[in-house]
Copies of this chain bind each other. A is one copy, B any other.
Amino acid sequence: MPCNQNETRLPTEDPQMTWDDATWILTSSFIIFTMQSGFGLLEAGCVSAKNEVNIMVKNAVDVVFGGITYWAFGYGLTFGQGKYANAFCGVGSFLLDSENEKEMGIVYSTFIFQLSFATTATTIVSGAMAERTKLTAYILYSLTNTWVYCVSAHWLWVDGGFLRDLGVVDIAGSGGVHVLGAVSALVAAVMLGPRQGKYDGGKLDPPGNPTNSLIGMFMLWWGWLGFNCGSTFGISGGKWILAAKSAVTTITASMGGGVSGMLFSWIINKRKFVVTDLVNSVLTSLVSVTAGCAVIRPWEAILSGSLAAILSFIVNPIFKYFKVDDPVGAFAVHGIGGIWGMIVVGLFADIDPIEDVTRGRAGLFHGGGVYLLGVQILALVCIAAWSAMCSIILLSIIKKAVGLRMSSEDEILGADYTEHGLVKFDNGIDIKQNKSRRRSSFGFQVFHVN
């Protein structure tokens, strides 16, 4: 930064951003976008092989259709500062454009960063809807789902939003991204009903590719560093210290979660380390540190991450009892992790003398009393209610209009064939009796429907 410039560019003098902040924000956004690849691979590895390509396409659809609506009205609903903006939602800046050179940089940086958040929130839902949802229905859902995220983001992160004014702390979105997405995911899973073969005594195709799930987990893990550290939204002043602290708490939380999750899995699965348990416990612990990454200590992160990982194990038996089918464990990871993450802030947050992230408040264990905890719980209730309500409305409308669920035959054939015309090579078929099929050694072939 050239020091011999006009003082007005300096962050400590003026809230304006410098290019140092821009470097940080843009780099973080680019890293966060790589999490889409991670989510895609994770989900593709969890579903059966006949839906693998389709779930990847759904992750692209999130960005494409979710992105266009975010540009059209999403950003405006969150950050719009028009005269009708209120405590509930922003108004203004629709069809985002900026001509004013002074604010252009800030507007565009905020947009790209927030877009990477918004697409993450919708991606969470795709996993819970896997293997049985029509792609057209999912596209419509991606188009409309944006406003669910945007309104609650206004509550949490924009000055004037009602939760923010109460003092809620959700640094990188345990509540605003993960709980929000997870509740939508749960609603979608319940409305769709379980996959054929899941709870009706039949047989379900097994998950396709654990290696891909693990690669997806790895990509998400490193992307999460960008997610949490980038949420300082700048690097100048004392923000770099918080960014460094966030990196440490994020990684230590994931270690705590990984250790406890693996041990727990080893114990309950009779000395086997189940891969999905490892993946889910690491990711749950990452979700749980997302709200408080800059305001808790490293050892607190280890503790809360470990607890989050173990808490996530309770979802499976409950879902089994209620016959809810969440193929990739979206609610276990993002819902349980997110709820616990918001509560962690109310328990462990400390006053932050550097950037005053908590606005002078501390959590229960640091002598701040129950106020912050109460606000965090209020935020959880508001987010969950909002997300559930909107999702029920949206999905009901889509169900009426085009239908949510594939036909039974389509579901058995798999979405890769029915939506994309791809046919996997079926190992159970005797090749010599199927001369008309062109073979491919990697499991795909052209299929001629007779």
* A229/B68 in contact, CB under 8 A: no
* A36/B218 in contact, CB under 8 A: yes
CB within 8 Å for A53 and B214 given contacts A71-B252, A258-B60? yes
Q: Which residues 214-260 of A have a CB within 8 angstroms of B?
A: 214-215, 217-219, 221-222, 225-226, 229, 235-241, 243-245, 247-248, 251-252, 254-256, 258-259
Docked CA distance A431–B275 (Å)? 26
* A67/B4 in contact, CB under 8 A: no
* B258/A207 in contact, CB under 8 A: no
* A112/B10 in contact, CB under 8 A: no
* A65/B5 in contact, CB under 8 A: no
* B97/A57 in contact, CB under 8 A: no
- Residue of chain B at shortest CB distance from A250: B112
* A150 on the B face (CB < 8 A): no
> Within the complex, which residue of B24, B25, B27, B297 is in contact with A97, where a contact is CB–CB below 8 Å?
B297
- Residue of chain B at shortest CB distance from A353: B101
- Residue of chain B at shortest CB distance from A242: B105
> Within the complex, which residue of B96, B206, B426 is in contact with A438, where a contact is CB–CB below 8 Å?
B206
* A269 on the B face (CB < 8 A): yes
* B215/A37 in contact, CB under 8 A: yes
* A225/B426 in contact, CB under 8 A: no
- A30, A31, A115 — most chain B CB neighbours (10 Å): A30
> Within the complex, which residue of B108, B221, B226, B236 is in contact with A247, where a contact is CB–CB below 8 Å?
B108
* A178 on the B face (CB < 8 A): no
Number of contacting residues on A, CB 8 A? Answer: 129
Q: Which residues 68-86 of A have a CB within 8 angstroms of B?
A: 68, 71
* A65/B259 in contact, CB under 8 A: yes
* A361 on the B face (CB < 8 A): no
Kindly specify which of A40-48, A312-320, A364-372 makes contact with the partner chain. A40-48
Docked CA distance A33–B34 (Å)? 14
Q: How far is the CB of A76 from chain B (nearest CB, A)?
A: 13
* A262/B214 in contact, CB under 8 A: no
Docked CA distance A272–B413 (Å)? 14
Q: How far is the CB of A19 from chain B (nearest CB, A)?
A: 4
Q: Which residues 414-450 of A have a CB within 8 angstroms of B?
A: 416, 419-422, 424-428, 431, 438-446
- Residue of chain B at shortest CB distance from A29: B247
- Residue of chain B at shortest CB distance from A244: B108
Chain B residues with CB under 8 Å of A440's CB are 48-49, 205-206, 208
* B112/A241 in contact, CB under 8 A: no
Chain B residues with CB under 8 Å of A297's CB are 97
Docked CA distance A96–B301 (Å)? 12
* A273/B241 in contact, CB under 8 A: no
> Within the complex, which residue of B23, B222, B416 is in contact with A37, where a contact is CB–CB below 8 Å?
B222
* B4/A12 in contact, CB under 8 A: yes
* A206/B241 in contact, CB under 8 A: no
- Residue of chain B at shortest CB distance from A239: B19
* A121 on the B face (CB < 8 A): no
> Within the complex, which residue of B63, B101, B214, B419 is in contact with A56, where a contact is CB–CB below 8 Å?
B214
* A378 on the B face (CB < 8 A): no
Docked CA distance A7–B4 (Å)? 8
Docked CA distance A436–B255 (Å)? 38
Docked CA distance A273–B432 (Å)? 31
Q: Which residues 3-21 of A have a CB within 8 angstroms of B?
A: 3-5, 7, 10, 12-13, 18-20
* A298/B10 in contact, CB under 8 A: no
* A442/B444 in contact, CB under 8 A: no
* A354 on the B face (CB < 8 A): yes
- Residue of chain B at shortest CB distance from A442: B49
Docked CA distance A25–B26 (Å)? 13
> Within the complex, which residue of B95, B109, B241 is in contact with A105, where a contact is CB–CB below 8 Å?
B241
Docked CA distance A238–B106 (Å)? 12
* A274 on the B face (CB < 8 A): yes
Q: How far is the CB of A403 from chain B (nearest CB, A)?
A: 14
Docked CA distance A112–B420 (Å)? 40
Q: A20-B20, A37-B218, A208-B443 are in contact. List 9 more A-B contacts (CB 8 A).
A: A22-B240, A34-B218, A48-B441, A60-B282, A61-B262, A71-B302, A108-B241, A207-B444, A427-B431
Chosen A-B contacts, 7 in total, with CB atoms closer than 8 Å, are A48-B442, A49-B441, A63-B258, A65-B255, A67-B252, A101-B238, A112-B248
